[in-house]
Amino acid sequence: MTPPVFLTEPGALDHDRVVLGGAEGRHAATVRRISVGEVVDLADGAGNRARCVVTGVGKDTVTCVVEERARDSAPRPPITVVQALPKGDRAELAVEAMTEAGVDTIVPWAAERCVTRWKPERAAKALAKWRSAAREAGKQARRSRIPEVSELASTRGAASLVSGAALGIVLHEDAPERLATLPLPAGIAEDGTGGVVLVVGPEGGLTDRELHAFDEAGATRVLLGPTVLRSSTAGVAALAVLQARCGRW
């Protein structure tokens, strides 16, 4: 089994001795019960990773000595999922699953038929929950790169992301083309710029106005399969197909 991963502050891995403190140190020391002599991986969330040996454990701290450093290259093409706001705790479930499956960027989207609404006074708290879910799931998945969770997007903003992608995809239950057989643009596996943008609609479905906006942006409507998935699970299912199709898996 691979060593557990803990996240450090940017620049911490430049030093030969790293002290995990705060919430991360407390989690390592009291929840995971890391002990002296254990091997752990430390990551900065941006691709830098260090294999370390634990040399000291306090109440809320873990001291590590770096033995080996590595930098994980960013996977190509980058995959962004524009996720309509799921209802209730399904939002964090969606973020966790997509993070474990390797998503690079998650964009929360205020679709017209979303039951959940991020009111201005609560938006920051809701976004923080998504980012915390991505962070914890990234550690669980042993990722050195934690996916970015961007600010809440409007339909116009989501369509703009699609227009700048090498491949823009909208999941739709009436689409004639299946994602598993969709022709991919030449060189998509080497694309490091526009990448793939996948749009996942809300439980109530996409409106005609939203579909028009994505069509105008150059998106392709695709079908996952014969069953209709929830908004909170469709993203990870489509992501798994894309990972295999693009050669990332």
CATH of the domain at 156: 3.40.1280.10
Domain with 49 in it: what CATH number? 2.40.240.20
- Based on the domain organization, do 185 and 230 belong to the same domain? yes
Q: What is the pLDDT of residue 228?
A: 87
**In the chain, what is the greatest distance between 2 CA atoms, to the nearest angstrom?**
60
**What are 24's two structure tokens?**
């991360």
- Based on the domain organization, do 138 and 184 belong to the same domain? yes
- Based on the domain organization, do 51 and 99 belong to the same domain? no
Please give the residue range of the domain that contains residue 59.
Answer: 5-71
- Based on the domain organization, do 20 and 91 belong to the same domain? no
- Based on the domain organization, do 234 and 198 belong to the same domain? yes
**What are 138's two structure tokens?**
């990234």
Q: What is the pLDDT of residue 58?
A: 92
**What are 156's two structure tokens?**
């116009």
Q: Taking the chain (249 residues) in consecutive chunks of 10 residues, what is each chunk's mean pLDDT?
A: 90 94 91 94 95 94 95 94 94 97 97 92 93 96 96 97 96 94 87 89 95 97 92 96 93
The number of folded domains in the chain is 2
- Based on the domain organization, do 66 and 169 belong to the same domain? no
Domain stop point among 71, 104, 128: 71
- Based on the domain organization, do 38 and 88 belong to the same domain? no
Total length of the chain: 249
Taking alpha carbons only, the member of 173, 223, 202, 207 closest to residue 91 is 202
- Based on the domain organization, do 228 and 142 belong to the same domain? yes
**What are 132's two structure tokens?**
């915390």
- Based on the domain organization, do 49 and 127 belong to the same domain? no
CB 100 within 8 A of CB 216: no
**Three-state secondary structure along the chain?**
CCCCEEECCCCHHHCCEEEECHHHHHHHHHHCCCCCCCEEEEECEECEEEEEEEEEECCCCEEEEEEEEEECCCCCCCEEEEEECCCCCHHHHHHHHHHHCCCCEEEEECCCCCCCCCCHHHHHHHHHHHHHHHHHHHHHCCCCECCEECCCECHHHHHHHHHCCCEEEEECCCCCCEHHHCCCCCCHHHCCCCCEEEEECCCCCCCHHHHHHHHHCCCEEEECCCCCCCHHHHHHHHHHHHHHHCCCC
CA distances from 121 to 95, 104, 114, 118, 178 (A): 22, 28, 18, 8, 40
Q: What is the pTM of this model?
A: 0.93
- Based on the domain organization, do 148 and 227 belong to the same domain? yes
Domain stop point among 28, 55, 71: 71
Q: Which amino acid is at 19?
A: V
